[in-house]
Amino acid sequence: MKVLISDNISSKCIEILKNAGLEVDIKVGLKPEELKACIGDYHGLVIRSATKVTSDIISAAKNLRVIGRAGSGLDNVDKTAATKKGIVVMNTPGGNTITTAEHTIAHLVSLARFIPQATMSLKAGKWEKKKFMGVELYNKTLGILGIGNIGSQVAKRMQAFAMNVIAFDPFLSEDKAKIMGVEKVDLQNLFKRSDFITIHTPLTPETKNLINKKTIKIMKPGVRIINCARGGIINEKDLYDAIVEGKVAGAALDVFEKEPPENNPLLTLDNVIATPHLGASTKEAQENVAVSVAEQIVDYLIHGTIRNAVNFPSIPSDQVSRLQPYINLAEKIGGFAAQIFEGGITEITIEYQGDASRINTAPVTIAAIKGFLSPMLEETVNFVNAPVIAKERGIEVKEIKSSDEGDYQSMVALRIKAKDKQSYFAGTLFSKKDPRIVNIDNFKVEIMPEGELLFMYNNDKPGVIGNIGTLLGKNRINIARMHFGRETQGGMAISVVSIDTHASQQIIEEIKKLPNILSVKQISL
């Protein structure tokens, strides 16, 4: 079998692949049409961030069985197209955790003490001690946005600097926060109290432009902001204006919305330090991910074992057709629930009823956890690491099985618990393969969990549906489907509208102002 390496990678990767008996070709810097022309010859593809594996490339990959990313990010791979074609997509989560955490700390310290600016000044023959008056980190408050693998490593290290560490993370429980020695706060509190803010979340519709004119206004005067996560989480124009106005004392950026950041005005400011996306750029990290991806590809192509796959669980091939619809259902329910439920999660119980209780539930449970954790975590959650991530975050996972069929022949449900509340989400399969969400906290519904959805709590009053439809129509947003459920006539109700395009925040705010609308959330599945 043949493996193509299309990006620069450590020689250790090549050595492991060849020692396993695989034929290896190294073709770095291929243009898209060149990659498309040759990809049909290969069973495995090893990439980093430079190669873009589009649906067009995948359609030409007639023999390709696995794509291995030496690193965690998979923005450059069309995972949907790969999944449809049966290609396993693997990454190497955790290989650059320490490296990225250390790079964040280097940025933080350099920002506090003007290290890059003072170096440039001194090399220019100047001696400007007064100009580069810094601030101590001692007893300052560090706000961490997202405290997963990388964020927790930053917290641990900055506690050694005697910083007061506070954190916002939708999956952080109070008990886990205490174990980590950090204070769990809400987002507004973090903005209000932090002297330094460091970002460790993924780029999602919820986190895009999270740092903006409105949120910067809440922050302390003189706050300093570090981003070694993803470009786009900070609104760069709003940050520029805030630094020029003096509200923000400085920023340290390793990532940008557009990379390279051509003519970015932030780079003209003296109190902005920046690096060209170097978070994972150490010899150790690159060797770690190179070795990991090579070993994973060997395991799969030679032994048939799947590890760190983002689109397939590790299940025997003869069970795939039976389990795949349930895996898809559970992941959809989890992703749906995560975008509605708020609070520090302490427990997730996956309940199987009827026919669902008689399947191999282990991969389905993992799919539910993966679906639930994925929307808001900065690390890539896959079928292998989802249980570990849940445990690290203090989330207890339980299973309950019942052969009783109840209202449906087969049902999978998630019961989500926080310290002071819980929610229930249940789904079933129509025609044995099509997922539907049929119960949300005892509201009977029939929701197709796909695409863009607007989820609303509202009073069951005349005119609600018409008002929603009119407003969306006025904003040229087409409605694909509408689903409704209510407790009692005239009581509380749920409305779920499936729309063809993502609704802007302005439209969401307009919906909130409609009569009898109690709350609105946009869900992406």
Q: Backbone phi, then psi, for 514, in 5-degree steps? A: -65, 150
pLDDT on residue 74 = 83
- Residue 437's contacts (CB-CB under 8 Å, 6 or more residues apart) are 332, 333, 336, 425, 426, 427, 445, 446, 447, 449
- Find out whether 3 and 46 touch, Cβ atoms under 8 Å: yes
Domain 313-435 has CATH 3.30.1330.90: yes
End-to-end CA gap in the chain:
36
Question: What does the buried/exposed string (b/e) look like for 256-282 if buried means 16 or more CB atoms within 10 Å of the residue's CB?
Answer: bbeeebeebebeeeebbbbbebbbbeb
- Residue 81's contacts (CB-CB under 8 Å, 6 or more residues apart) are 54, 55, 58, 59
- Find out whether 88 and 299 touch, Cβ atoms under 8 Å: no
Exposed/middle/buried for residue 157 (C-beta within 10 Å: 0-12, 13-18, 19+): middle
277 is catalytic: yes
Band (189; pLDDT cuts 50, 70, 90):
very high
CATH topology of domain 450-524: Alpha-Beta Plaits (3.30.70)
224 is catalytic: no
pLDDT on residue 320 = 67
Q: How far is CA 437 from CA 339, 413, 483, in A?
A: 14, 9, 10
Average pLDDT value for residue range 22-46: 97
Q: What is the pLDDT of residues 43-95, one digit of tens each?
A: 999 999 889 999 999 999 999 999 999 987 787 999 888 877 878 899 998 78
What does the alpha-carbon distance between residue 341 and residue 328 come to, in Å, rounded to a whole number?
20
CATH superfamily for 1-93+281-312 is: NAD(P)-binding Rossmann-like Domain (3.40.50.720)
- Domain borders along the chain are 1-93+281-312, 97-274, 313-435, 450-524
Average pLDDT value for residue range 385-401: 87
For the residues of 360-377, what is the DSSP string, one character each?
--HHHHHHHHHHHHGGG-
What's the distance, CA 151 to chain centroid?
14
pLDDT on residue 1 = 94
Q: What is the pLDDT of residues 317-373, one digit of tens each?
A: 567 678 889 999 999 999 999 999 987 889 999 999 999 999 989 889 999 999 999
Nearest alpha carbon to residue 201 among 143, 274, 273:
143
pLDDT on residue 384 = 65
- Find out whether 153 and 98 touch, Cβ atoms under 8 Å: yes
pLDDT on residue 380 = 66
Q: Decide if 1-93+281-312 and 313-435 have a common fold.
A: no
- At residue 233, does pLDDT exceed 70? yes
Nearest alpha carbon to residue 389 among 322, 351, 423, 338:
338
Band (203; pLDDT cuts 50, 70, 90):
confident
Q: What is the pLDDT of residues 118-169, one digit of tens each?
A: 999 999 999 999 999 999 999 999 999 999 889 999 999 999 999 999 999 9
User: What is the arrangement of strands in the sheet containing 492-499, beginning at the earlier edge strand?
Assistant: 479-486, 492-499, 452-459, 517-524
230 is catalytic: yes
> Among 107, 230, 307, 436, which one carries the catalytic annotation?
230
Residue scoring higher pLDDT (186 or 407): 186
Nearest alpha carbon to residue 274 among 478, 115, 470, 101:
115
Average pLDDT value for residue range 475-484: 93
pLDDT on residue 69 = 95
User: Which tokens sit at 125?
Assistant: 């023959």
Exposed/middle/buried for residue 405 (C-beta within 10 Å: 0-12, 13-18, 19+): middle
Residue scoring higher pLDDT (320 or 401): 401
CATH topology of domain 97-274: Rossmann fold (3.40.50)
Band (316; pLDDT cuts 50, 70, 90):
low
pLDDT on residue 313 = 67
- Residue 307's contacts (CB-CB under 8 Å, 6 or more residues apart) are 90, 296, 299, 300, 314, 384
User: Three-class SS of residue 241?
Assistant: helix
State what percent of residues in the chain have pLDDT above 90. 76
Q: What is the DSSP letter of 129?
A: T
Q: What share of the chain is helix, strand, coil (3-state, %, to 5)?
A: 35, 25, 40
pLDDT on residue 357 = 92
Residue scoring higher pLDDT (251 or 379): 251
Only one residue has tokens 């407003």, namely 471
Which pairing describes strands 196-199 and 141-145: parallel, antiparallel, or unpaired?
Answer: parallel
Count of other CB atoms within 10 angstroms of residue 10: 18
Average pLDDT value for residue range 487-508: 91
Band (439; pLDDT cuts 50, 70, 90):
very high
pLDDT on residue 205 = 81
> Among 34, 128, 136, 259, which one carries the catalytic annotation?
259
User: Which tokens sit at 277?
Assistant: 């996306």
pLDDT on residue 171 = 83
pLDDT on residue 296 = 94
pLDDT on residue 172 = 86
- At residue 525, does pLDDT exceed 60? yes
What does the alpha-carbon distance between residue 74 and residue 424 come to, in Å, rounded to a whole number?
31
pLDDT on residue 378 = 61
Query: How confident is the prediction for the chain on average, in pLDDT?
Result: 92
> Among 277, 307, 393, 436, which one carries the catalytic annotation?
277
Overall pTM > 0.85:
no
